[in-house]
Amino acid sequence: MPFPMKSKNTYRPLPDELTIKKSKINGLGLFAAKDIPRSRVFGPSHHNLRGYDGLGLIRTPLGGFINHNPKPNCRIITHSSIWSIKTTKKIAKGEELTLKYGTYKILNPNV
């Protein structure tokens, strides 16, 4: 018997509201596939294995494709060793989601 093509329990690397496409910022980016409200929290973007030094981070597709912007429309929120992305404003369909970060270090978590 073949595997079912659709299942409620199928792994999805991104929420339905998000997609990955070419970015004007850098390479590929994370974009809104439909309007997203302010304060929407997405699943884990990073798993922090060794504290806030940026060296023990494992990125999920959310964390791997979100680009830097000095005026971001998202921020990181933390719960224990799991970091998630939260929108700081309403994001229109087609708009790129961004964070403020440096190389291997996300700046100002929970700010």
Per-residue pLDDT of the chain (111 residues; tens, 9 = 90+): 444 555 566 667 888 899 999 999 999 999 999 999 999 999 888 888 765 555 677 888 888 899 999 999 999 898 888 889 999 999 999 999 999 976 545 555 554
In sequence order, the β-bridge partners of residue 19 are 31
pTM (predicted TM-score): 0.77
For the record, the structure tokens of 2 come out as 């073949």
**Phi then psi for 69, rounded to 5 degrees?**
-150, 130
Domain ranges of the chain: 18-106
Spacing of C-alpha 95 from chain mean position: 13
d(CA 15, CA 33): 10
Superfamily of domain 18-106: SET domain (2.170.270.10)
